[in-house]
Structure 1
């Protein structure tokens, strides 16, 4: 594992719509091995190997993360904010926030009325976002001058490597970005001759907007989308609804009607042939995956798309956690599948009507 790269990706504050810092890490690393790197007008970043023409196979992961956006600064210097993406409101209270202010980053603390001053009803009621404000420990005039409305931020948290685990904010989805970067590097090193395009897409957390544009522009043969899924050994997670994808179970292959069953079955065979552990679950819905995989699937005439997910505990919090062994499995499955699929063309559902060798 390249822990230096992973740490750099995780430390890059890049909420949806302001992904420049994560994009810079992506491009700096990709330029060390890719044949071509570039960006588009919306902020998606790309790295390619192989020929520059022809419909590519795509590896995709979103580079943005959840965060906050300043909505108002009052006369006392209290900073109010909207959410970028969604998070349990209880997590905010007492949390440190890094604001990406125009004149330089600022650190503040999210505060709420002290419990001693709350009524009985307030104590049992759920936390409302409008009750929270950010305290920067600066004079009110200084806050108003340095923090214009629209300033964005992320919850501040250290990156911790503990045994085979990593704990950090933004593992959703920088761990996916790390996986596709490493997969493309290995494909290059192993002499892949096909056109492979890696996409680091923007604004997944607020509407999958970057993926929609990238999918339309590239018109790929097929797409492997990497994101996180729920780690199901965590207390309170209902495995009867979600299925099981605990730490150490490898990569999760999502099963649902919108995702291409022929491509998923090819990935299953590759994983089995290489003794790579995997699980299969349908997530929280069978209608759609709520990931960029849906957008690739529905682009243009339709793109055969698979969703490869890495189990993640405490998703959408500053203490997300993944097992690095699961990440390695995800990387290897992508690499082996792409190498085995060279020259095979587009995958169709009807391919599964043909007999397949057991060996």
Structure 2
């Protein structure tokens, strides 16, 4: 029996996920995103690594849909005379995840593959065996002598985990779900409304440098000056061990789009999203945030005179690891919800709290 039709555009998704694009070095993912966007929308980019796709009247009030394209990575800080490559984290790593991984270095002369080195358990003393690894205790080995490594790998070279995207059962697994999936969703939502007579200029943005401080959202939000915006990111899938529903709410695989409720989220926009979901039968869940959301929405909310924002998230297992996992049905729900919300907007909207 042939496989069921994928719930989403899997070819585009896997092309996006396969790119090496850590924070500050998003070019490869941005190029894939922009090429896809160019098949149905007006495209542009800025100097900071953000890419834009837009539909609707150019002079109309702007609606921003943001999903960041960067993934967590590494940056080379020192190369020893023996050829050991030491590095710093780019974004939030659990160092235990790095132990034993293969690494792709985005070197000036072409990509180089290496492995993360660590002292073997056989040569550790008893106390060392009980301690968690720290990044400063790890290194990258690319299998070359010291002089050649120094010539090929300058300080400042970026690296990412070398793992392919793949289907595991009915789920998508990748090192870059967070948050290549957000960039995917906002562009697919834009595609879903491409044949509408839009009342707004609707701009999907593949943002840069979210993982190190939501910096791309600051730049792109200021440039667009939107009347409202949605940030799409990942949230913790709550059926996995160790994720407490009493803290994160219930967001299991198959539950649809997850909407953030909290002080920085605009309640009028949230109500519009829940009404759109109910109207069109799109599944969703709610999760509370007591302060900020930890997404691009935090930056967009405070741009210029302030922008009403909402956060739409997709449940994700094993966040910030080489094996992040999502369910395509939830991605579909996020796409459908955002498109339904845009379709329901009137020419004049009051987002007053």
37, 41, 45: which is aligned to 1:30? 37
DSSP-derived class of the 1:142 partner: helix
Answer whether contact 2:50 2:220 (CA < 8 A) is retained.
yes
Question: Structure 2: how far apart are the matches of 1:110 and 1:191?
Answer: 52
Aligned-pair RMSD on alpha carbons?
Answer: 1.1
Question: Structure 2: how far apart are the matches of 1:115 and 1:164?
Answer: 36
Mapping 1:62-101, distance limit 5 Å: 62-101=68-107
Question: Structure 1: how far apart are the matches of 2:120 and 2:151?
Answer: 28
* Number of the residue aligned with 1:175: 181
Q: Give the drift of 1:193.
A: 4.3
Q: Give the drift of 1:217.
A: 1.6
Q: Give the drift of 1:189.
A: 2.8
Does residue 6 of structure 2 align to residue 2 of structure 1? Answer: no
* Number of the residue aligned with 2:4: none
* Number of the residue aligned with 1:357: none
Question: Structure 2: how far apart are the matches of 1:300 and 1:236?
Answer: 39
Structure 1 portions without partners, runs of 5+: 350-359
313, 335, 345: which is aligned to 1:309? 313
DSSP-derived class of the 1:272 partner: helix
DSSP-derived class of the 1:189 partner: coil
Structure 2 portions without partners, runs of 5+: 1-7
Does residue 344 of structure 2 align to residue 340 of structure 1? Answer: yes
Does residue 144 of structure 2 align to residue 138 of structure 1? Answer: yes
Question: Structure 1: how far apart are the matches of 2:126 and 2:195?
Answer: 63
Answer whether contact 2:51 2:206 (CA < 8 A) is retained.
yes
DSSP-derived class of the 2:193 partner: helix
Q: Give the drift of 1:190.
A: 3.7
Answer whether contact 1:95 1:155 (CA < 8 A) is retained.
yes
Alignment: residue pair count: 346
* Number of the residue aligned with 1:164: 170
Question: Structure 1: how far apart are the matches of 2:186 and 2:163?
Answer: 24
Question: Structure 1: how far apart are the matches of 2:248 and 2:34?
Answer: 35
DSSP-derived class of the 1:110 partner: strand
Mapping 1:75-224, distance limit 5 Å: 75-224=81-230
290, 299, 324: which is aligned to 1:286? 290
Q: Give the drift of 1:128.
A: 1.0
DSSP-derived class of the 2:240 partner: coil
DSSP-derived class of the 1:217 partner: helix
1:151-170 CA distance string (max 9 Å, x none): 00100111112343100111
* Number of the residue aligned with 2:3: none
DSSP-derived class of the 1:336 partner: helix
Could you tell me the TM-score, scaled by structure 2's length? 0.96
